Structures are given as structure tokens and as C-alpha cells.
């Protein structure tokens, strides 16, 4: 019943967080139906208002609507992605198309759009503040791009497309998770003997969760990548690498290839309805890049240098393989294994030794330390009922004032989708009431006692915490402009920039502490670690850039070709080395096909990296990674502004001018 459903009650909880200890899966269907109906009633009241449109009775009224739905969805989406089960996945399949239709119903409300359009046409005479003007422009643009200005016939077509895309995206995600859950490789004693202890322990824990007696390698990145690095058994590496690379393309129920093909076709139709030549043109119009040719130019410039470096590296690695007495061609399952051998030789880095200095708890504290020194933030652990026993929460204060709640969910499990991400149960806002951000970082680290991270894992933790800082330090009036609600090719700037503080010697000396002896990392090991930070960057850049180029060209093409055929044509055209696979092949390219957020925009990590390389150099120029004045400028001009300010203006205020691609190439050591 309504009054028994905790999702529909006021949350008289600390920080107004969801009462996870009361919420059951059976509560979601009722809550979602009631929340959808409530928002439609609220929207109808705005559109039926007999008074002329004003900023208050239309734009601010829209912001007041849908609060219940947003609250329910923030909980539901978190559970579906971070702790899925059969019932939650069924609910997602049921409600994804309903939510798409709901959104289309609002944006196709002609009377509502007429009110918004009337205000937009009079924007310069409304005496609005800069942020109010930005909000009106954003809402108008969002409605137009959702089809509000189309004819009735085309509005209906748009609604059908969006409904279908929503269903396809949900199915793509669930297929991928199903493939990742189902595959595992049992290890025999002879296979274990050659693996480092941390990997054996992680494989044993994975086996316990699966109910299998022997240690297993599954398709969690925290297991599969170190296995490919350290297993000398070439046949097993081949099995593991091919399983990793073929997720989503096994045919039958979980085959993502037809989903990708239909998704691309529907996106083309949607873009055409809105008057664009292709989906990439539509998508990039609102990004910093603006046009597909600007994205292509960046990616191809980087591709040239990365490919040259990768081919030189491959020749060296092939010699390592020949020294093992293997005269075969060099394949993708050989790269990480021989690259690790080369890394150990050239940089004297042993992964097991490195991991012993990077415990999860210490790296979390390191991130907090940097946030304190840069922005004056303090983090105090708090005990709250959360959605999973592995989650931890911290109260965030600044100058003694509570400003946010931060939650970390760090461990891999079969109910969690792969990857790492930052989301918010609640974003910062001052209207219609003041609300403090409740921010969530989700990762997939192999759980241990203690949990030890690779250097790449630690970098991932800092990356996601950079996103969290963007949310925590947000200081705007309106939630649609808050925190990470910025263009996709700007949103990665704070996250990638924060990664740089992981390699600051002061941070490493203080927090890279051996988990047994408690001794700090030695100067020699620290120097070797920092010196190897760009190691194998040709490989890493090639696997990423090939994915970004495929994504871009997919959304430029006007073709009904099979997606795998088209993918292979693109890879052939750019000359992807045979020993390197795309980071995300089409059937498991969740960034692009699980939803539209990164569609035609996977390049955005690299666009942001051009800025982050340049931005950190500002601290390096002062020879002080914690310079107080520069940190304040970063907070005032970028981290606190959300989308209340054009990102190009925001960056120029911080740095003076936009950087060139050379900043990225130097940062990656490619020139």
C-alpha cells in the first residue's frame, strides 16, 4: 500500500538518504507508477496555467516537478547497475520503455513548449541573471533536441524511436552482464603455481562466490587483466583473451550485434527527423568539439603518433617472445604478458611488490588528503544503512560546515556491471530547497584482506573521486546545471586532472605504505613507478583511439551494413595493428550502446585530456602541486560552476587560453 512503501514516504533519515534497510524490490513498481503519474499531473498544471508564461510559473515550476520520480529513480538505477538481480532486471526491462514514453510525453506537450519558446524568444528582455539565462537556454535546447518543435506526425515517430532505443539499451547492458557472469576459467594447480599470490587469492575469492572448488578467472577486469599479464600458459591466455574480447557476440539470447545495428539505424532516423545529416552532427552540436571534423582531427593526430609507438613496441615484445622459443606470430593474448616482462626488466617493477604498497584503504585516504590540501575538505566515516554491505560512507565538511555525503562501493561482484563510475543520489542545488550532494563512487576491485590495488586501479580510484569532487564542490542554484551536468568532453576534465595527484611524491611517500611492514615506498621504487607512468602508452592509446574512431564513424555513416563488417572496415582503414584489439569492440561497447550518453562522444576522454594535461602543468609551473591560489581558481572557475558557465569560458578563466593537442601528446610521452 502507498503508506507502507518507503520510496513514497518522506525520508527522515540522516542526510535525507534513501532508507535502504526498508526498501524491497516489490516497492519499486508501485513507486515508479505513482511517481510517473505525479509528474504528469505537475506538468499538466504548468501547461494549463491561464496566466502568461513567466520564468517563475514555467521554468521554475518545471524544476519543482518530478522530484518524487527523480528520487525513486536514483535508488533504482543504482541498484540495477551496482547490485542487480533477476527481479530488478525484469523491472528495468518493463520500465525503460515506460520512462522513455513518459519523457517524450512531456517534451511533446505543445502548450508547455509554447510557454518555454515564448520565454526563450524574449530572453533578453526578461531581466534574468546569468545562471537563470543559462537555465532557460538549456531547457529550451533540451526540448527542441527531444523533438518538441516537430510536427505531430514526427513527434509520434520520435516517441517510438526513443521508446525502442531505451529498450535496446537496457537489453544490451543485461546481455553483457549475463555474458560476464556466465564465463569462467578453472585453474589447475600447475596453472596457479606460476601466478602471483594476489591473483591466486582473488581467483579463490571469485570461486567462493561462484560456488566452485578450484580458483577461477572470470571476466572481471580486476582478474582477467592480471591473468593476461602473468600467466605463462599461452593457450589459457588465448582462451581468456578471446572470452574477454567476444563478450556480447555469442549468438542467441545475449547477442548484442543485432541490437547495435538497430540502435545505429534508429539514431540516424532520429537525427534526420531533427534536421541533421547524421547522429554525430546532432550529438556534437552541444559539446565543446561542436563538429565531427574537429573530433576526427584530434583522434587522427593522436592515432598517428600512438600507432608508430605501438608498432615499435610490438617489435621489441616479439623479440621477448622469440627468446622464449616461440616462433609464432604475435597475437593480442601475447601483448600484456610480454609487456609485463619488459616492464619488469626496463623499470624493475614487480606487480606484486607494487601492489603491496597500494592498499585500498590507504588510497582512499590519499584521495581525501589531496582534497583536503587543495580544497579544505574533511571526510569523517559515518554509519548508515546502505544498499550493500560493502559500501562505506563519509560525511564531507568544509570550514566546519557539512556540505556532502560521499559513498564508496569498491569491490567487484557478479551483480555489478563492469567498469567504474560516479553517480549521485542527490545533486547540489539551492532551489526549490537547499540540498547537499550525496555522491557515489563505484569500482570493481578484487576484494582481499587487505584489498591491494594495482597502480592502474589506484589511478581509477583517483579518477572517479575527481568526478565526485565535481559534484561535492558544486555551488549553483539550479540542479540541471549542477556538478557533472556539463558537456561530455568537459566532464572528464576534473576526473582526469585529479589522477595527477596520485603521482605527486608527497602523496606517494605518505600513503604508499607496505601493508605488512608499514614502511613507506622507497625513493627508488617511487622513481621507477613514476618513470614508468607512460609505459606501454602506444598500446593503451591505440586500443582507446581505435574505439573512439569506430564510435565516431559509426555515427557518421548512412548504411545498413552489418555492424561487425562496418567495424572491421573502419579498423582496416585506420590500420589497427593485428596484435591490438579495440578497448571496446561493438558487442560490448557499453559506453555507446547501453545508452546514448557517450554515443558519438567516446572521444571525450581524450578531448578532456588535452585540457587536463595543460591544467596540471599550471601547478607544475609553480613547482607546487598544492598551490592554494591555483586550487582556489580551479574550484571557483571549474569545479563549483557546473554547467552554469560555458566550459570554454570556464577553462580560459582558469588557464588563460585553450590548449593544443601537443599537451596531450607530451603528457602521454608520445612526442
Instruction: Quickly tell me which residue has 609464432 as its cell.
Output: 328
| Residues 655, 520 within the same domain | yes
What residues contact residue 144 under an 8 Å CB cut-off, 6+ apart? none
Distance CA 291, CA 111 (A): 32
Among the listed residues 464, 492, 499, 609, the single catalytic one is 464
Whose CA is closest to 341, among 314, 371, 320, 364? 320
In a domain, 377, yes or no: yes
Exposed, middle or buried, 671 (CB in 10 Å: 0-12/13-18/19+)? exposed
- pTM score, whole prediction: 0.95
| Residues 78, 187 within the same domain | no
Distance CA 603, CA 641 (A): 23
Phi, psi of 411 (to 5 degrees): -100, 145
Query: Cα–Cα distances in Å, from 412 out to 216, 218, 392, 447?
Result: 14, 11, 15, 7
Distance CA 265, CA 560 (A): 7
38 is catalytic: no
Distance CA 218, CA 203 (A): 8
Average pLDDT over residues 384-391: 97
In a domain, 604, yes or no: no
- Given 126, 146, 176, the domain boundary residue is 176
**Alpha-carbon torsion (471, 19, 205, 357), positive or negative:** positive
Number of domains observed in the structure of the chain = 3
Query: Cα–Cα distances in Å, from 436 out to 313, 333, 395, 475, 487?
Result: 49, 47, 11, 10, 22
| Residues 97, 214 within the same domain | no
| Residues 239, 103 within the same domain | no
Residue 561, C-alpha cell as written in the block = 551494413
Average pLDDT over residues 140-146: 98
| Residues 103, 216 within the same domain | no
| Residues 62, 118 within the same domain | yes
| Residues 196, 229 within the same domain | yes
| Residues 240, 370 within the same domain | no
Tens of pLDDT, residues 18-36: 999 999 999 999 999 999 9
In a domain, 459, yes or no: yes
Residue 285, C-alpha cell as written in the block = 552540436
Average pLDDT over residues 447-476: 96
Average pLDDT over residues 494-520: 97
In angstroms, how far is CA 49 from the centroid of its own chain? Answer: 40
Distance CA 195, CA 183 (A): 20
Q: Are strands 377-382 and 216-218 parallel, antiparallel or unpaired?
A: unpaired
| Residues 396, 463 within the same domain | yes
Q: At what angle do helices 563-574 and 257-273 cross, to 10 degrees?
A: 80
Domain with residue 123: its CATH number is 1.10.1370.40
| Residues 18, 164 within the same domain | yes
Q: What percent of the chain has pLDDT over 70?
A: 100
Q: Residue 277 in contact with residue 594, Cβ under 8 Å?
A: no
- Given 247, 271, 288, the domain boundary residue is 247
Residue 3 pLDDT exceeds 70: no
| Residues 32, 131 within the same domain | yes
- Which domain range does residue 35 map to? 2-176
Tens of pLDDT, residues 56-103: 999 999 999 999 999 999 999 999 999 999 999 999 999 999 999 999
pLDDT for 1 equals: 42
In a domain, 477, yes or no: yes
In a domain, 207, yes or no: yes
In a domain, 9, yes or no: yes
pLDDT for 567 equals: 97
Distance CA 230, CA 380 (A): 38
The pLDDT-based confidence of 671 (bands split at 50, 70, 90) is confident
Residue 533 pLDDT exceeds 90: no
Tens of pLDDT, residues 421-433: 999 999 999 999 9
Give the Cα-Cα-Cα angle 583, 452, 456 (nearest 5 degrees). Answer: 30
Q: DSSP assignment of 178-241, as one string?
A: HHHHH-EEEPPHHHHTTS-HHHHHHHHHHHHHHT-SS-EEES-HHHHHHHHHH---HHHHHHHH
Exposed, middle or buried, 26 (CB in 10 Å: 0-12/13-18/19+)? exposed
In a domain, 324, yes or no: no
Average pLDDT, the chain: 96
Query: Cα–Cα distances in Å, from 211 out to 178, 193, 203?
Result: 17, 22, 12
| Residues 166, 191 within the same domain | no
Tens of pLDDT, residues 242-258: 999 999 998 889 999 99
In a domain, 39, yes or no: yes
Phi, psi of 381 (to 5 degrees): -60, 140
Residue 146 pLDDT exceeds 70: yes
- Given 176, 208, 239, the domain boundary residue is 176
pLDDT for 251 equals: 83
Amino acid at each position: 500500500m502507498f503508506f507502507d512503501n518507503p520510496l513514497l514516504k518522506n525520508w527522515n533519515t540522516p542526510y535525507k538518504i534513501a532508507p535502504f534497510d526498508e526498501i524491497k524490490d516489490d516497492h519499486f513498481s508501485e513507486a515508479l507508477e505513482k511517481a510517473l503519474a505525479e509528474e504528469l499531473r505537475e506538468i499538466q498544471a504548468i501547461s494549463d496555467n491561464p496566466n502568461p508564461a513567466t520564468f517563475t510559473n514555467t521554468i521554475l515550476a518545471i524544476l519543482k516537478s518530478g522530484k518524487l520520480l527523480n528520487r525513486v529513480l536514483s535508488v533504482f538505477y543504482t541498484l540495477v547497475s551496482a547490485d542487480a538481480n533477476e527481479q530488478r532486471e525484469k523491472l528495468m526491462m518493463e520500465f525503460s520503455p515506460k520512462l522513455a514514453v513518459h519523457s517524450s510525453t512531456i517534451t511533446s506537450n505543445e502548450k508547455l513548449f509554447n510557454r518555454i519558446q515564448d520565454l526563450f524568444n524574449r530572453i533578453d528582455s526578461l531581466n534574468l541573471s546569468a545562471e537563470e539565462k543559462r537555465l532557460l537556454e538549456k531547457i529550451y535546447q533540451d526540448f527542441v533536441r527531444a523533438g518538441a518543435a516537430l510536427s505531430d506526425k514526427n513527434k509520434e515517430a520520435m516517441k517510438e524511436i526513443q521508446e525502442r532505443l531505451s529498450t535496446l539499451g537496457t537489453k544490451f547492458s543485461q546481455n553483457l552482464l549475463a555474458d560476464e557472469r556466465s564465463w569462467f576459467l578453472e585453474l589447475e594447480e600447475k596453472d596457479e603455481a606460476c601466478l602471483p599470490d594476489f591473483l591466486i587469492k582473488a581467483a579463490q575469492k571469485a570461486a567462493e562466490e561462484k560456488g566452485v572448488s578450484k580458483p577461477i578467472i572470470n571476466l572481471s577486469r580486476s582478474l582477467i587483466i592480471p591473468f593476461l599479464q602473468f600467466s605463462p600458459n599461452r593457450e589459457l591466455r588465448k582462451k581468456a583473451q578471446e572470452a574477454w574480447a567476444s563478450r556480447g557476440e555469442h549468438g542467441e539470447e545475449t547477442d548484442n550485434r543485432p541490437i547495435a545495428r538497430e540502435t545505429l539505424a534508429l539514431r540516424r532516423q532520429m537525427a534526420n527527423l531533427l534536421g541533421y545529416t547524421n547522429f554525430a552532427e546532432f550529438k556534437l552540436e552541444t559539446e565543446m568539439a561542436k563538429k565531427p571534423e574537429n573530433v576526427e582531427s584530434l583522434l587522427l593526430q593522436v592515432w598517428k603518433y600512438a600507432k608508430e609507438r605501438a608498432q615499435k613496441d610490438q617489435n621489441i615484445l616479439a623479440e621477448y617472445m622469440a627468446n622464449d622459443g616461440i616462433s609464432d606470430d604475435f597475437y593480442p593474448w601475447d601483448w600484456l604478458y610480454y609487456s609485463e616482462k619488459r616492464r619488469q626488466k626496463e623499470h624493475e617493477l614487480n606487480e606484486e611488490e607494487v601492489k603491496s604498497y597500494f592498499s585500498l584503504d590507504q588510497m582512499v585516504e590519499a584521495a581525501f588528503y589531496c582534497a583536503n590540501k587543495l580544497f579544505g575538505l574533511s571526510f569523517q566515516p559515518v554509519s548508515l544503512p546502505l544498499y550493500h554491505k560493502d559500501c562505506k560512507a563519509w560525511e564531507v565538511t568544509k570550514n566546519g560546515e557539512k556540505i556532502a555525503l560521499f559513498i564508496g562501493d569498491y569491490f567487484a561482484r557478479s551483480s555489478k556491471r563492469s567498469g567504474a563510475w560516479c553517480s549521485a543520489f542527490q545533486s547540489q542545488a539551492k532551489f526549490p530547497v537547499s540540498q547537499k550532494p550525496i555522491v557515489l563512487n563505484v569500482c570493481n576491485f578484487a576484494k582481499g584482506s587487505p584489498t591491494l590495488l594495482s597502480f592502474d586501479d589506484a589511478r581509477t580510484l583517483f579518477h572517479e573521486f575527481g568526478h565526485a569532487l565535481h559534484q561535492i564542490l558544486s555551488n549553483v542554484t539550479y540542479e540541471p546545471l549542477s556538478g557533472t551536468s556539463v558537456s561530455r568532453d568537459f566532464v572528464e576534465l576534473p576526473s582526469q586532472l585529479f589522477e595527477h595527484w596520485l603521482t605527486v611524491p608527497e602523496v606517494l611517500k605518505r600513503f604508499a605504505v607496505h601493508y605488512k611492514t608499514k614502511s613507506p615506498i622507497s625513493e627508488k621504487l617511487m622513481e621507477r613507478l613514476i618513470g614508468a607512468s607512460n609505459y606501454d602508452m602506444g598500446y593503451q592509446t591505440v586500443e582507446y583511439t581505435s574505439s573512439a574512431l569506430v564510435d565516431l564513424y559509426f555515427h557518421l555513416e548512412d548504411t545498413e551494413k552489418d555492424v561487425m563488417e562496418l567495424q572491421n572496415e573502419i579498423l582496416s582503414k585506420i590500420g589497427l595493428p593485428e596484435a591490438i584489439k579495440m578497448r571496446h569492440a561493438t558487442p560490448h561497447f557499453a559506453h555507446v550502446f547501453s545508452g546514448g550518453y557517450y554515443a558519438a562522444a567516446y572521444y571525450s576522454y581524450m578531448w578532456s585530456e588535452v585540457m587536463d594535461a595543460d591544467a596540471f602543468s599550471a601547478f607544475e609551473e609553480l613547482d607546487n602541486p598544492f598551490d592554494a591560489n591555483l586550487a582556489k581558481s580551479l574550484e571557483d572557475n571549474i569545479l563549483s560552476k557546473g554547467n552554469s558557465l560555458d566550459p570554454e569560458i570556464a577553462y580560459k578563466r582558469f588557464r588563460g587560453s585553450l590548449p593544443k593537442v601537443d599537451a596531450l601528446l607530451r603528457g602521454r610521452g608520445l612526442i
